[in-house]
Structure 1
């Protein structure tokens, strides 16, 4: 009986040691991930500030009050349709990280503006059908602290967007 109790206690101790090691490993990896993303956050914030400084005298570069930046690549004087928050839009776009890595791209696709990131909800209504802009979306107007697919947390996103058609409902 004493042997059985000692054997059970030994197994329990081993399990607790293994559990403690696993828990320690998870905490260590999490701390490393947070540090990695903290560096990524700083790098993205610095990149955006430097980018704004470099382009401050460019007559086709604008920064909104919220911090959304955009380059007007093509626009014209014709009074085509402008998107509203509930619009269905037809766009071609490419999304990139500041490293240049493409995380998403679509040609001639439909979507609802209200289902997109805040940067698009703010930026697309500045455009009209047929116009072409490049948006530089701060993390707060994109996915913020969360990762999304290939996009790490705290990422500034670059979107090259051509607004093909707007359906306002």
Structure 2
């Protein structure tokens, strides 16, 4: 599998934003409000010399992408990394190489590659702390066969989405997690 070819096939940030039909405003809100700390920028400074690029396997309907993509965009800018988005649903051959827990096509997945197209790091679909939060919230749901499961699950996702959109501590947690993969 040639990751350089996948990178070239990907959408630029501008193309991805232009193609978005869901979560665009919300994603841009996080992008506008989130700022890397001076410490983060210092950590990312040596990354510039590595000439890394990023393939972001994503979809605009994904709540985790809504949270993580704008943070990745800021990190890519600070580290001088070119970023391309590859849509998961149209590129199952690629996502199937990056299954979560060996079975799930969970997104987003960020594949950091060097100039030759060699994989330098992979991150996703969630920061460990965010996975713990989602797992905790899911544990509070009734059994899947309960009559109110669907309603409760939708309420949980709505609440989680609101937290994603407003809690700057979560944004920093995601940034810390992504940056730690690059160091």
Asked if these proteins are the same fold (TM beyond 0.5), I'd say: no
TM (norm. structure 2) is: 0.24
Higher helix share: 2
Structure with larger Rg: 1
